[in-house]
A and B are shown apart, each in its own frame.
Chain A
Amino acid sequence: MLLNEAMFYLLAAMALAFSLLMVTRPKAIQAPIFFCGALLAIAGIFLQLGAEFLFAMQVLVFAGGIAIVYFAALLYTRAGEPKTKSARGRRSVAGALLAVVVGAELCVAIYAGRASLRAGYAVVPDRNMETAAVVLFQHYLLPLEMISILLVVMMIGAVIVSRGGAE
């Protein structure tokens, strides 16, 4: 149990540290690396919550695929934060303030609703992934099909969009 908590704190610290680095480091080309680290830490959180399939998907699709695609796109668009100076000082302060306020507000909401939170099973039930598959293919079959159609549309759309219109 103690090990479980230690893992949670380690993964949470990793996720927060990597995402903070991603947002605050000025060089845009470094961002996908930190992004990848944050996503891997979140994948670890999924594993700890007993969502093995989501863990695998997060590692394969996000940390393995999407982060690399972002890296390639950054290289293609001449990575680096834009050089032009504009009056963004005040806007940056306002943006950071807004983000802090939203985070604090969410934490206050969680604190206010803490009475209705309860812990689930201490251990992940056996055949967890099997149950997830049964639920996915029996109760959520229609949404699953819709999601696959969305993926096909996305693939065709991405190809058409990045080809640059009709020749």
Chain B
Amino acid sequence: MISPAYYLVLAALLFAVGLAGVLLRRNVLVVLMSIELMLSAVDINLVAFGRMWNSVDGQVFALFALVVAAAQAAVGIGIVVLFFRQRPTADADEMDLLKW
């Protein structure tokens, strides 16, 4: 088997790319997608560690993380759509209604 280190490095790089997306992009939906990418990168870690110890617990945890990511996407998109009705923009910089 390939050493787990390769999978960990891949996950770290994907996480960093996702973080760059969160920090750089202004469209809220692209920011949400980047967060999903970061969550998937963490799933790779969980599965790789599970494989390292020859147990399936890592897969089960990754499944739970996947479900939480799906819930986050659904509710996040709902909030963005609702916000769009209030103020027709998807720009993260414009979303300052709660800012004093």
Contact = CB atoms under 8 A, between A and B. Distances in A.
A146 to B, nearest CB: 9
Given A32-B33, A49-B51, A110 B91 contact: no
A86 B89 CA distance: 15
Contact of A107 (B9, B80, B89): B9
Given A100-B16, A110-B12, A158-B74, A35 B2 contact: no
The A interface is mostly helix, strand or loop, or mixed, namely: helix
Contacts, number: 245
Contact of B27 (A5, A28, A92): A28
Contacts of B9: 107, 110
B23 A125 contact: no
B49 to A, nearest CB: 9
Range of interface residues on B (Cβ < 8 Å): 35 or more
Contacts of A54: 43, 47, 59, 62-63, 66
Contact of B80 (A19, A77, A96, A128): A77
Contact of B15 (A50, A51, A106, A122): A106
B23 A99 contact: yes
Interface residues of A, number: 82
A70 B29 contact: yes
Contacts of B90: 28, 74, 77-78, 82
A141 to B, nearest CB: 11
A118 B52 contact: yes
Contacts of A65: 70
B63 A136 contact: yes
Interface in A116-149: 117-122, 125, 128, 131-132, 135-136, 139-140, 143, 147
6 contacts: A16-B14, A31-B27, A73-B81, A92-B24, A98-B19, A162-B78
Q: Ordered nearest first, which 4 A-B pairs have the shortest CB separation?
A: A103-B16, A95-B23, A99-B20, A106-B12
